[in-house]
Structure 1
Amino acid sequence: MKKLIYSFILTGTLFTSCSMNEEPAGKLNDETAIQTTADATKFRNGIYSNIRSVSNGTFIYSQEMQADMFVGTQINGNRLGPFSISSFTSSDNDLEDLWEYPYKYIANVNYFLPKLEVLINREGIDANTKLLLERYRGEAKWARAYYYYYLTDTFCQSYTNVEPTTPASGMPLETVYHPSSEYSTYPGRSSLAETFNLIEKDLADAYNDLEAYEKSSAKDAQANLSANAPYLSTFTVLALQARIALLKGDNATAIAKAEKVINEGSYTLTDRDLYPAIWTNDEGSELIFVPYGDQAQSSAVAAIGEAWINSSTDKADYVATQNALGMYDSEKDIRYEWFFEPRALSVNGASVVAPCFVKYPGNPLLNTGSTNALKNLPKPFRLSEMYLIIAEASASTDANKANTALNTLRAARIADYEEQTYSGQNLVNQVREERTKELIGEGFRISDLRRWNLGFSRSTAYEDIYEDVPSILIPASMNVTYEPGYYRLILPIPTGELETNPQLEGQQNPGY
């Protein structure tokens, strides 16, 4: 029997994080699906849709609700409740999706790469077409690295907290497309070192292919080297390399890659008066990569804002904790002004003013009707993260460099900011808090806490206009505490995967 692959290859049927459980409309024979450059271009579009999915929606907000920045209201219908009250188990469907879909997308890449090699090595191919296909190859390898990064950062211990060569500490690795119901062929978990080696190899290959295209005479060779690029560039590769190096504790590489983005790219930290456009219109001078989406594709863009708020302003599933509010200068920090909005929520017949998280207010261009769909395009790499990487990676060895990066970012966010000089543990703490303030709601918090070996307790000691907020919160969501190293800082391998892959026997994460 011939193998079948998902139909987005040629028909444009795309996976999205907001419709994960829908089956693709049709099937294609995997031996004949990609025969021409035009076929490859269509498949490439599917790869970008997959990237857009993993960098948005449930892949971002699930673990945000698990941490200390947000707390559930009594009207949230238990949406994301298992994450918020820390009751999730390995059999939860939401957790299954976080594992299953990145692996489906990896399979798409593994199918695509050898097909590209056939086209690239085709007799008589012209140089421009060859270069284009090699660009597609680089994009596909970046995508595979990104998916493995996401999986590793979600289902594995932090690289710096474990001996990375420990067997079964990483992810099951697949680099060859061979869908099969023969369970004995499924891989077990690799070591963390092996997983990161694959990620780094794919990124190095991606950089080479994309750099060659950017240096060519192609009409659009440098089209993605500026802000708001809808397609990958060498700067996107560098940004992910910097992030990966920081996770590994390879501080020298993290600094070098981040500085290359800052010094050689055309990106700038967005001015305070233009800052809201980053979140409302999904555009800004610091956005390195914004996967494409328009109104025609709105159904395939996640309604990420719905995780927190509702198109009806008297409803919200989750609100900010005092932990979150207390980090900011409420009068001068543009982030406080833009991320938190006092709204009168209607809960059990009472009207209570609560701090609603509005970082994802919905892009009007993605609405297909008069109601705000609360859809925003993902912004997986921003220049501000590069400054934060430099600050953290240099905090223990070069205080001047760390302070410079920290002050540069703060000056762009805080009105009338006066530079500060920190040292020692105070500098480390300031950098960590700034990272949390900048990246709140973007999917980093649990990873950061695990990497820093920190725990948390949610604070609901609200003040002033928010003093009545505790009365509308779920008690089990309010009373969540994680000790440093708590096992739930790493998600469990889903039960369904354990049941179908005998090689994973005995390889579940500790505590589950």
Structure 2
Amino acid sequence: MKKIYKYTLALFALLSMSSCSEDFLDRFPTEDVPAEAATTTTDNLFLVVNGIHRSLYQRYNSQGEGGIGSMMIQTDVLGEDFVMTSAGNGWFNNTYKWVDHTNASDADDLFPYRVLYRVIRNANVIINGAENASGPTADRDAALGQALVYRAYCHFQLVQLYGKRYQAGAPNNQLGVPIRLTTENNPLARATVEEVYTQVNLDLDRALTLLDGYERPNKSHFDKSVALGLKARVALVQQNYPLAATLANQARQGYTLMSNDEYFNSFNTYTNREWMWGSFVQEDQTIFFANFGAYVSRNFSSTNIRTNPKAINSKLYNLISETDVRAKLFDPTGAHSNLPAGVTLASNFAKKPFTSQKFIAAGTGDSRMDVPYMRAAEMYLIEAEALSYSNENAAKQVLLALASNRDPSYTLSANTGAALKNEIYTQRRIELWGEGFRFYDLKRLNQPLDRTGANHDPALVGQLFEVPAGDNRWQWQIPLDEINSNPLVEQNPS
């Protein structure tokens, strides 16, 4: 891990970040900040927390490495629901073809590994040093709780990408990822999948206690609801359905679903009433062509978006009711004659069928948009899916609450068994399109990739239309940089 962990706390010089309250906008006076200095006071702890927040939408080695937003694009283009309409200027094309993550020497295979472990390292600065920080106990607990959520989130993402899927009732002794609990860069072997999930849950349980009663300054910070939401995600992956249903219900309390008008015209702001966690990118913190909106928005005037507007799988679109507001987020004609308020497209924007207008950037010359990491709608979907295994009537009521909000013509489902589960999965695919979930969902459900019969261009997907469930390619290759610097790490089968 030497190459992965050779970073100093220079990250904390990036502390004039937009996702923070004004109290925490001061910079450290030097770019080389020892861990001891970062944990001397609770104010300094929050500078570290805010540095981590900022790192989620930082540009790394290339414009295709724009933090968590770029990882969301990676995991969606690996699925069947996110469609590239042309080769554009090349970004994410090899990911779409399943080439990048199956090549250990590829920079895009390394990108999530490097960045997520970097976040873990900085979270560990707080976790291992917070007890000595002077200042109010409540502030120390809030900083520590958020650091624990970050460590849990990153290990959870890593094990889903680079490890095999979790199987309830099995020993889950298959290889996961190294568990990093300190800032040291000593070589570590890969823990088992079970061990990784155990640590994730330990961190979240501790965070839930520490964040109880914490009122965050904005939605880039974690509060108890986000920790509950993340633990609900983990429980769903572990197929602990009773726990997933309970946690998801608890997490969504206090949030209300968007109106149809808000969904169509005001989705792209983290102050949106149903956003639980997201990044706000203010103007002086833009990363320009590395922003999430530089690739997924409909209106930013970049070569990538003008020539390669992103589309929904045509088969999935055809499952959306005409009275569902989410049908308006995509245009089957591609003409985009009904765009969100204030949005226009110049004549040099390609018009392709089924293209999305869900994501809208700040302007044609400004790719900024807030990045959604967790929404209350997801919690409804987790709860409905989890309940479908034990109480179908309750599952239908939860599904009704979400689906009838999106579609006034929706009525209580008459489906049962597998048909009910498939209805919930379809609602999830529609609702969370473009938000980075599809690869993870296919893998956790042990479902195959199937792009056949839709609007995927054979040339653009490299003829890769199907990948069987359980195929080795569902595990990303451990990056070659890690293999070369850590003799204890074993590579995944290719």
Give the alignment's TM-score, normalised by structure 1: 0.81
1:405 maps to what in 2?
Answer: 398
Aligned ranges 1:297-446 → 2 under 5 Å: 297-299=285-287, 303-308=291-296, 311-312=300-301, 314-316=306-308, 318-329=310-321, 331-340=322-331, 342-343=333-334, 353-362=352-361, 364=362, 371-446=364-439
1:186 maps to what in 2?
Answer: 187
- Per-residue deviation at 1:448? 1.1
What is the SS of the residue equivalent to 2:74?
A: helix
| Structure 1 residue 47 corresponds to structure 2 residue 52 | yes
Contact 1:8-1:14 at 8 Å conserved across structures: no
- Per-residue deviation at 1:359? 2.4
1:283 maps to what in 2?
Answer: 271
Contact 1:302-1:375 at 8 Å conserved across structures: no
Aligned residues: CA RMSD: 3.0
- Per-residue deviation at 1:503? 0.2
- Per-residue deviation at 1:80? 1.1
Give the alignment's TM-score, normalised by structure 2: 0.84
Give 2:478's aligned amino acid.
I
1:115 maps to what in 2?
Answer: 129
Give 1:210's aligned amino acid.
L
- Per-residue deviation at 1:15? 13
How far apart are the structure 2 equivalents of 1:239 and 1:101? 22
| Structure 1 residue 244 corresponds to structure 2 residue 273 | no
How far apart are the structure 1 equivalents of 2:438 and 2:233? 14
Residues 234-273 of structure 1 deviation map (CA, whole Å, 9 limit, x = unaligned) = 11111111111011011111111112223xx211111112
Q: Please list every run of 5 or more consecutive structure 2 residues that lacks an aligned counterpart in the other structure.
A: 1-5, 20-29, 59-65, 337-344
Change (3 A) 1:74 1:106: same
How far apart are the structure 1 equivalents of 2:16 and 2:404? 44
Give 1:338's aligned amino acid.
L
Contact 2:78-2:95 at 8 Å conserved across structures: yes
Contact 1:287-1:379 at 8 Å conserved across structures: yes
User: Which of 247, 266, 279 pairs up with 1:257?
Assistant: 247
User: Which of 76, 88, 95 pairs up with 1:64?
Assistant: 76
Contact 1:453-1:484 at 8 Å conserved across structures: yes
How far apart are the structure 1 equivalents of 2:8 and 2:436? 30
Residues 114-151 of structure 1 deviation map (CA, whole Å, 9 limit, x = unaligned) = 3211115xxxx6xxx12211211111111111111111
- Per-residue deviation at 1:356? 1.7
Change (3 A) 1:71 1:133: same
Change (3 A) 1:352 1:144: closer
What is the SS of the residue equivalent to 2:488?
A: helix
Report how many aligned residue pairs link the two structures: 456
Change (3 A) 1:410 1:301: farther
Give 1:410's aligned amino acid.
A
Give 1:454's aligned amino acid.
Q
How far apart are the structure 1 equivalents of 2:288 and 2:180? 26
- Per-residue deviation at 1:5? 1.8
2:108 maps to what in 1?
Answer: 94
Contact 1:85-1:476 at 8 Å conserved across structures: yes
1:19 maps to what in 2?
Answer: none
2:484 maps to what in 1?
Answer: 499
What is the SS of the residue equivalent to 1:391?
A: helix
Change (3 A) 1:359 1:55: farther
Aligned ranges 1:110-189 → 2 under 5 Å: 110-119=124-133, 129-160=136-167, 163-166=170-173, 169-179=175-185, 185-189=186-190
Residues 197-255 of structure 1 deviation map (CA, whole Å, 9 limit, x = unaligned) = 111111111111111xx2xxxxxx5356xxx7342111111111111101101111111
User: Which of 8, 13, 20 pairs up with 2:11?
Assistant: 8
1:269 maps to what in 2?
Answer: 257
Contact 1:90-1:494 at 8 Å conserved across structures: yes
Runs of 4+ displaced beyond 6 Å? 13-16
How far apart are the structure 1 equivalents of 2:408 and 2:288? 37
How far apart are the structure 2 equivalents of 1:372 and 1:460? 36
Contact 1:69-1:324 at 8 Å conserved across structures: yes
- Per-residue deviation at 1:177? 1.4
How far apart are the structure 1 equivalents of 2:376 and 2:202? 24
How far apart are the structure 1 equivalents of 2:215 and 2:39? 27
What is the SS of the residue equivalent to 2:249?
A: helix
Change (3 A) 1:437 1:344: closer
1:205 maps to what in 2?
Answer: 206
Give 1:284's aligned amino acid.
N
**Identity across matched positions, percent:** 23
